[in-house]
Amino acid sequence: MSEQKQDTKQTSTQNQTSSATRQSRSGNYKGNQQNNNRNTSNRNFNRYRANKKYNLQNQPNNSQQNYNKQQRRSNGPRRGGRHQGRWQKSNNQDTSNPFSNLNEIQPPKPLPEIDENDENWKQKLKLPVKDTRMKTEDVTLTKGNDFEEFYLSRELLMGIFEKGYEKPSPIQEATIPIALFGRDILARAKNGTGKTAAFVIPALQKTDPNKPYIQALILTPTRELALQTSSVCKELGKYLNVQIMCTTGGTSLQDDIMRLMKPVHILVATPGRVLDLANKKVAKLDKCQMLIMDEADKLLSPEFQPLVEQIITHLPKDRQILLFSATFPVTVKDFKDRYLNKPYEINLMEELTLKGVTQYYAFLEERQKVHCLHTLFSKLQINQSIIFCNSVNRVELLAKKITELGYSCFYIHAKMPQHLRNRVFHDFRNGACRNLVSSDLFTRGIDIQAVNVVINFDFPKNSETYLHRIGRSGRYGHLGIAINFVTYEDRFNLYKIEQELGTEIKPIPPVIDKSLYVA
Ligand SMILES: Nc1ncnc2c1ncn2[C@@H]1O[C@H](COP(=O)(O)OP(=O)(O)OP(=O)(O)O)[C@@H](O)[C@H]1O
Ligand SMILES: [Mg+2]
């Protein structure tokens, strides 16, 4: 504790005495490299590692070991790296492996004895440690409903409260009753404001575990998001006997076929795999009344839309379709008109960016980027960061550079073997490393509460990508910062994105006030 305080003090002194200079849009951002606070925090981090006995070398198979060696050679995810800044795990961070035994069949659980007249049932719940961090109006500006007002089963309410959800967020309040009623929905709400539970809660409530077939299909554009979403389904439905299965590319088709021989009620999937299983008549979707498309605009991009339309041919005619995203470009309209039946449209995005996320840019030359990142590492109080690059190659090169600078980092992109993607995702989420370099694989939906800094090492080309990337920090109305490296070539994009999002990306100041992004 005292070490942490010391850490914080050192960093703030550093900031005050920093010789970093900030110039206007035509200028450069340069900072000095003061790393005085590393030793103290190294001790904290090493102590954490010792406690966790975090060791990637104890891997179950040879290919994993070979890959690890390769990663070490290329200075990829490194375990002995030096560390800077204060390391802190979020109270709410789940330390269990969210992906282990994900598709194991849940044995029928004896339902907890529920006395409908017991007014004290809430007091008997095992609630997580309360998150006392300040939250912005993005999640607090509600009508004041309670989950109990939605006529949810007691078992589902128990799962919701034990997940730490006390009150519904604005999007949950707006969509849960409508979805329960059976209407098609097109819902738009800001990043990190609880869209997942807004569709998972009605899906769980409407599923009858006594009917042995798929009743809801949840589609996501990436495998990691499918894993995360099925994990949320399991947590919220932990007192229900609903069987949830996650099926994505990059895993054994045979295993999925075997699993589908047993009852599955909710299927969470990426489009390619579920279409394959449906075409093989292994995944039977003819009684699946609910199709949920998370990150719907991405699922309706040319890459996915043909697959999605084929999946819909396997569903019954009177199915309910729910579309969720923070971004709905006009291209979605055509799909909406063709497939949705008098959809209830909810748009909670009068303003597009999150109130808790402050955005800055640093104008620089390509060759100055690594140096600038180094400066940021030494000056910022990063709890966890995601650093985005625009290509797989650049992700790997940057991860190498960061490791050479003496900072620990993981990296992830879609060209990595799936089991390693899972491992990096799981370990980063559990706080095994402070920094993650990523391609756009992690741009959408990924929810890691401890991330308070997002860095666009490469500035994105469009405003949707920008919005989703910076939305990886400031989850559930918390604080965060987004720092954009902008080169001469990016200058028009910066202007365009500011215009399209109606937001201001300010030049980075010499000192960034910690109260803007440290809880
Ligand atoms: N009612 C609630 N009370 C407290 N926390 C909540 C509540 N609903 C959701 N959360 C938490 O908020 C975080 C963000 O939720 P979620 O991932 O569903 O956001 P999202 O709107 O889908 O964001 P994105 O657009 O980035 O996909 C999660 O950690 C989730 O557990
Ligand atoms: Mg989401």
Give the pLDDT of residue 105: 57
Give the pLDDT of residue 492: 96
Ligand 1: atom nearest CA of 163 is 31
Residues with C-beta less than 6 Å from any ligand 1 atom:
164-165, 168-169, 172, 189, 191-197, 326, 445, 447, 449, 471, 475-476
List the residue whose alpha carbon is closest to atom 19 of ligand 1. 192
Output the CA torsion sign for 295, 433, 353, 25.
negative
Q: What is the CA(323)–ligand 1 centre distance, in A?
A: 16
Rounded Cα–Cα distance for residues 390 and 348 (Å):
29
Give the pLDDT of residue 482: 98
CA-to-CA separations, 419 to 71, 426, 519, in angstroms, rounded: 14, 10, 33
Query: Are the beta carbons of 459 and 450 closer than 8 angstroms?
Result: no
Structure tokens at 286: 């003819």
- Residue 150: how many other CB atoms lie within 10 Å: 20
List the residue whose alpha carbon is closest to atom 4 of ligand 1. 165
List the residue whose alpha carbon is closest to atom 12 of ligand 1. 476
Tokens 């994900």 sit on residue: 102
Instruction: Please report which residue ranges of 314-368 form alpha helices under DSSP H.
Output: 331-339
Mean pLDDT by 10 residues, the chain (519 residues): 34 31 33 35 34 28 38 34 32 44 58 71 90 94 96 96 97 98 97 98 98 98 98 97 97 97 98 98 98 97 97 98 93 94 94 96 98 97 98 98 96 97 97 98 98 98 97 97 98 97 96 94
Instruction: Please report which residue ranges of 164-301 form alpha helices under DSSP H.
Output: 170-181, 195-206, 223-236, 253-259, 271-279, 296-299
Give the pLDDT of residue 54: 26
List the residue whose alpha carbon is closest to atom 5 of ligand 1. 165
Task: Please name which ligand lies nearest the alpha carbon of 142.
Answer: 1
Q: 195-206 and 223-236 are packed helices; what angle lies between their axes, rounded to 10 degrees?
A: 60
Structure tokens at 51: 């406690």
Give the pLDDT of residue 123: 87
Rounded Cα–Cα distance for residues 293 and 230 (Å):
13
Give the pLDDT of residue 121: 86
Output the CA torsion sign for 58, 94, 414, 372.
negative
State the Rg of the chain over Cα. 23
Structure tokens at 108: 């029928």
Ligand 1: atom nearest CA of 472 is 26
